[in-house]
Amino acid sequence: MSGTGKFCVSITHAKNDTDKATVGFVVANAAAGSDQDTMVFLSTEGVRLAEKGYADDIHEEGFAPLAELISNFVEAGGQVYVCAPCIKKRAIAPDNLIEGATVVGGAKLVEFLADGTPSVSY
Residue 1: predicted pLDDT: 38
This prediction's pTM: 0.95
- pLDDT tens digits, the chain, 122 residues: what are they? 347 899 999 999 999 999 999 999 999 999 999 999 999 999 999 999 999 999 999 999 999 999 999 999 999 999 999 999 999 999 999 999 999 999 999 999 999 999 999 999 99
Domains in the chain, start-ordered, CATH in brackets?
6-121 (3.40.1260.10)
CB 39 within 8 A of CB 9: yes
End-to-end alpha carbon distance in the chain: 26
